[in-house]
Structure 1
Amino acid sequence: MKKSIRRYFCNTIQTLLLITFLTSCGAGQSKEAAGNHTDISADLIWESSMELRYASGFGVDYYKDGYRLITVAEESRYLIVPEGKGIPADLSSGIVVLKQPIEQVYLVASAVMDMFVSLDALDAVGFSGLKADSWYIDEAREAMEQGKILHAGSYGAPDYEQILASGCGLAIENTMIYHTPEVKEQLEKLGIPVLVDYSSYESNPLGRTEWVRLYGILTGKEAEAEAAFAAEAEAFEAVEQEEKTGSTVAFFYITANGEVNVRRSSDYLPKMIEMAGGSYVFDHIGDEEETASSNVTMQMEEFYAAAKDADYIIYNSTTTEELSSVEDLLAKSSLLEKFKAVEEGRVYCTTKNLYQSSMKLGTIISDMHKMLTGEDGMTYLYQLE
């Protein structure tokens, strides 16, 4: 009963955060997201705001002499002070000061690790919320195995002593931290600033990737961030020019108890299928539910009725094991043998690192397009024989 009550309140908190985020951050509102904060200090001269292409949950204001103001979800503000520069004496209240270089970062938001990798900024990360064997990003796992990045506990149970002793300059959390607000309060009480990453709340998949520009500001790798984001945007835009295929796609995995887990229609993965030129087989599944969860669970018979005629099926191996053959898939449920995609040989599986590869969403969309058009050279999908 206690677990049910706790789960209810956790889901309620996530839903309220999502509603707040979506209503306050409209797509393409870069100036609004940034707040256009021109007068936060008499010592700072505002020059411009970052123009965002897809993201709406953060903003950046540029000031003379290299100062930057980051605003996240229109509520949290961080002044990035360049190395060797002073902190303005009359800075507006509520702004968190981050002096560069920002070192020994405690990185809990797993989607952000790939961004640090793309920036060649792993040396700024001192601690991880995941253990080494939970990382499918090679660079992150290897850094932990070599002792360059240490495990410092999950979002709900950090090793405060270890983090504090290292001189941690910043904790980067995901919104799960709001399930345990006392942890955020304790970190801040110890003098460790906390930045909550909202990239997973972006309505456009490339909006998630664009958050690399924020982390480029934090790490002093702005040029690298622009190049990394441009590469993924280019991969998507090349696909965008192609005609829609009209092919239907089911994306799912089977749980240990035989139920089928699919993505809500409003989730970013179904949107990526649409962007790749396909059509997600579930039009409005989960849209009526008031929850922040991106997943919907159903019985196999219900899944069969809705997805048996899908042109393609993609098995999601990110939370289970990678499959080696169609036989492996059919071992999970003999009912799958009757699916059109199985009969016609259009069965695919994701690699384990798909979810953690936040800097490859453009590439993943391109992979989906290659699947739909029968092309080779996919990175995050492979065909089951």
Structure 2
Amino acid sequence: MINYFGSTEQYIKSALKKLLAALSKVGFDSFLLMIGIMILLAYFLPQPGLVKEPVSLGEIASIGVSLIFLFYGLRLSVEKLKVGLANWKMHIVVQLTTFLFFPLIVLASRPLFAGTDLELLWLGIFFLAALPSTVSSSVVMVSIARGNLPAAIFNASISSLIGVVVTPLWVGLFIASATGDFDVSEIIIKLFLQVLLPVIIGISLNSRFGAIAEKYKKQLKRFDQAIILTIIYTSFCKSFSEHLFEGFTALELVGLAAGMTALFFTVFLGVGLLSRLFGFSVEDRITVLFCGSKKSLVHGTVMSKVLFQHSTITGIILLPLMLYHALQLIAASIIAQRMARRKGV
């Protein structure tokens, strides 16, 4: 007798594996799927993200944030930072793109949003533009495209440290009108205690525990993702409970996604032109392209907890970042794989 159920189950498993493999080639992964699930969960079941007793998910996320950066520091040695300083011209281009070119592009679009119901979305886009570059995905894309990997590690690391100061300074120019309460010095102190201090402690312990952190980097990545998902869930619970998304149409959200795609390619092409004008090598151009055009979801979710700590608008602020994160992974994955098959850039 033919076991139809067994063959059907095997067929479904095989089809799912092929689908996941195809999606991974274009940058889609299970983490992006989990982000979508967290948003849906926040919509249909927001109460767990709002309660403060006996356990607050927000407080758990705050502790988790500090641990993320402690573990990040453990994997970052002083020797790597010293070696990275040599290629200073390339580093300046990457950091200026990340913290100056990006915000100025979004700042130029502000008149399009002024006086409309989309001003909060613009603040979210500007918040995205002021964030540091990604750490892990930038390095991965540079590695796939066969770029300057040590320089990518250095730039991603330095970007994280610079962002602790520069991001709140940029966002502080516009955030007061949206939240009614913003103290730049207080925010920087909070970010120093919650982000920079754990990194410094981690770096100081690198010689003792760095090898252990490197050994369990996959487990640490899962921990990072769990904390990010918790922050996304609690943020959207607050926003949904205040009905903040009811004013946005499907067309506006599609337009936002199109805008995030345009922003990525504008920066990507612009930084590519700059790297050619400076006469960088192929490997260095690849590093500049991926490190300069990407924005960190980790730092965005972390900083949103501090910058918008007592505000219900965090979900809206994070929406452009999450769309950009998904789109940059898909676009960068395709580009990196094509670059890996080419001899020149």
TM range (shorter): under 0.3
Task: Tell me: higher relative CO, structure 1 or 2? Use CA pairs within 8 A at least 6 residues apart.
Answer: 2
Q: Which protein is bigger by CA-based radius of gyration?
A: 1
- Larger strand proportion of the pair: 1
**Counting helix residues as a fraction of each chain, which structure ranks higher?**
2
Structure-2-length-normalised TM-score: 0.26
TM-score of the superposed pair, with normalisation by structure 1: 0.24
